[in-house]
Structure 1
Amino acid sequence: MDVVLEADQLGKRYGSTWALRDCTLRLPAGRIAALVGPNGAGKSTLLHMAVGLLRPDAGAVRVFGQSPYNNTSTLADIGFVAQDTPLYRDFSAAELVTAGAKLNRRWDAALARNRLAQLGIPPDRPVDKLSGGQRAQVALALALAKRPRLLLLDEPVASLDPLARREFLQSLMGSVADAGTTVLLSSHLLADLERVCDYLIVLQSARVQLTGTVDEIAAGHRQLIGPRHDGTPPAGVAAVVRASHTDRQSTLLVRTDGPIDDPSWAVREVTIEDIILAYLADGETMTSHTEWGVPA
């Protein structure tokens, strides 16, 4: 299995506060991965270290087996769209495409121009005069014009309306499908991510809580409803992720390691959104992360 992005005990500290700590993960090639977590969980910090904008204070991050910091050979294979889609606002989209050709050794100007034309974005209008959705599409077109092997997107649809978000994600899927680009997409919008992503990384309290393929994670979690939980989970339960109780009944979201045959518990499937929310809610108490389907 080819690993595109790898972090080993990665950490970044600002003063006495760790923005990211003991981050260990491996992102396989060809995945469209969701990076999920609340504000302050370390998502942007991880992406900025992966693209070489920040130097780690602990551990290591490797992209294609190399450190991205001060490494132009690695950066040539990375496309990055930052959270605020930073663009030269006085430039038109056409001028940005021309500038990109002068700044990147591998540049597909025709791809960028064709994408902008298909989306109906005026090529000669200053970027500052475009809508938020159009600016996000321009930033994505420029990132894709690099023909990157890894595309990093930091909250690219956070400020967009539902229609613009759908159009952005549809165009993203169409663009990376043929190229085989690996994508790491940070967002709070769980429903959007569930539609487009096949891999999941959950960050909470500066640490990785869960990582693996969407299918494996969904298959490895269940909701149990049964008698008041006395602290001993039934056979087949590896861990209780989240629990709620009434006087007579307990509802548990659990990670399984086998079949649950206890007839006193009703077993139900759960959505990826349910799983993410459970890990985020209890992230403060978790000290290690769960990794699915990726060798350690």
Structure 2
Amino acid sequence: MAEPYEGVAVSARGLTRTYGRAHALRDVDLDLAAGQVHGLLGRNGAGKSTLMSIATGQEYATAGEVRIFGEHPHENEGILPKICFIRESQQYLDDIRAVHAFRAAADAFPRWDWDLAERLIHEFQVPEKTKIKKMSHGQRSAVGVITGIASRAELTLFDEPYVGLDPVARSQFYRALLEDYTEHPRTIVVSSHLIDEIAHLIENVVLIDHGQVMLHEAADDIRERAVTLVGRDDAVTLIAGDREVLTREEMGRTVRVTVERALSDAERRRAAELDVDVLPVGLQDLVVHLTTREQTSSGKENGA
């Protein structure tokens, strides 16, 4: 079994988790570099939460192993204080108030920042003395995201953290997370199925589907893998050349085609001469295109 290499925050080898006959994770090999923001993407039920739970020592793998900063996380007093895991369905004791939750977090995380926490409490308008169970869904979510950001844990994981937050609060969360990460770099993993909302945050993309890693690339590399061309059919066809077509829409004499591979500078100049608009492809659309193709290819190879 390969050993985790230096500079890796999360390393999984052959990671499998089954519940009866169902596979939540299936033979996952994965390395997440330290000091980056990773997007753990996929549909609900894809295996994202299970991977996070095992990585944080809250669940055991059926087979394989996971290491955090080179060590096993389970009951590891040297590693667990370095990990902050914020679930969408974060559970709290019945009588606990937000102020109690923040004090507990301050005791648990050596790098906790009270000044940052107080500022975020004000920004998110969290009632510190209200029992958490009596808060709105959005307020409970705010308690979680504030804890995750202010913990400044070396490895911070957010599992669908925005659920319950309105668009303004989600924007506040993304801004606060990015600003503090820029000033205090650490390893952050954000699980989401709303890919375009977090596209500006993430440096590395991990796509999980049916318990398997379908895609693992730098976000910038993925963005360079496709482009959308809009113009006359003959002009678009000329610019597209031999590129594989991912999608095609016809609108009268105009066509809109998404193709693999970015254009060269010369091709962009030629596109402008032919009145072909060259548009970027959203990360969410691109991930859908690429994974749909990979799933189709896999099915053909398996005789489907």
TM-score bracket for the superposition, by shorter chain length: 0.7 to 0.9
The residue identity in structure 1 corresponding to 2:80 is L
Within the candidate set 13, 31, 45, 2:18 is matched to 13
Assess, with a 3 A threshold, how the Cα gap between structure 1 residues 30 and 286 changes in structure 2: closer, same or farther: farther
Q: Is the 8 A contact 2:144 2:161 kept in 1?
A: no
Q: Which residue of 2 aligns with 1:81?
A: 86
In structure 2, runs of 5+ residues without a counterpart are 1-5, 235-240, 271-275, 299-304
Q: Which residue of 1 aligns with 2:114?
A: 110
Assess, with a 3 A threshold, how the Cα gap between structure 1 residues 279 and 57 changes in structure 2: closer, same or farther: farther
Higher fraction of helix: 2
1:185 Cα deviation from its structure 2 partner: 0.5
Assess, with a 3 A threshold, how the Cα gap between structure 1 residues 222 and 10 changes in structure 2: closer, same or farther: farther
Q: Which residue of 2 aligns with 1:123?
A: 128
1:54 Cα deviation from its structure 2 partner: 1.3
Instruction: Please list the CA deviations of residues 57-83 of structure 1 after superposition, one character each: whole Å capped at 9, or x if unmatched.
Output: 222211101121222221110111012
Q: Which residue of 2 aligns with 1:191?
A: 196
Provide the secondary structure at the position in 2 that maps to 1:195.
coil
Provide the secondary structure at the position in 2 that maps to 1:84.
coil
Assess, with a 3 A threshold, how the Cα gap between structure 1 residues 109 and 178 changes in structure 2: closer, same or farther: closer
Assess, with a 3 A threshold, how the Cα gap between structure 1 residues 87 and 169 changes in structure 2: closer, same or farther: farther
- Counterparts of 1:161 and 1:105 in 2: how far apart (Å)? 28
Assess, with a 3 A threshold, how the Cα gap between structure 1 residues 241 and 57 changes in structure 2: closer, same or farther: farther
Q: Is the 8 A contact 2:37 2:188 kept in 1?
A: yes
Q: Which residue of 2 aligns with 1:140?
A: 145
- 1:212 equivalent to 2:208? Answer no
Q: Which residue of 1 aligns with 2:164?
A: 159
Q: Which residue of 2 aligns with 1:277?
A: 288
The residue identity in structure 2 corresponding to 1:52 is G
- Counterparts of 1:120 and 1:24 in 2: how far apart (Å)? 41
In structure 1, runs of 5+ residues without a counterpart are 228-233, 288-296
Assess, with a 3 A threshold, how the Cα gap between structure 1 residues 222 and 25 changes in structure 2: closer, same or farther: farther
1:190 Cα deviation from its structure 2 partner: 1.7
Assess, with a 3 A threshold, how the Cα gap between structure 1 residues 135 and 217 changes in structure 2: closer, same or farther: same
Spell out the pairing of 1:38-117 with structure 2 (5 A cutoff). 38-102=43-107, 104=108, 106=110, 108=112, 110-111=114-115, 112-117=117-122
1:207 Cα deviation from its structure 2 partner: 0.8
The residue identity in structure 2 corresponding to 1:272 is L
- Counterparts of 1:155 and 1:124 in 2: how far apart (Å)? 25
- Counterparts of 2:161 and 2:93 in 1: how far apart (Å)? 17
The residue identity in structure 1 corresponding to 2:76 is N
Structure number, greater radius of gyration: 2
What is the percentage of aligned positions where both structures have the same residue?
A: 29
Question: TM-score normalized by structure 1?
Answer: 0.78
- Counterparts of 1:255 and 1:16 in 2: how far apart (Å)? 40
Provide the secondary structure at the position in 2 that maps to 1:9.
strand
Provide the secondary structure at the position in 1 that maps to 2:57.
coil
How many residues are matched? 274
- 1:24 equivalent to 2:29? Answer yes
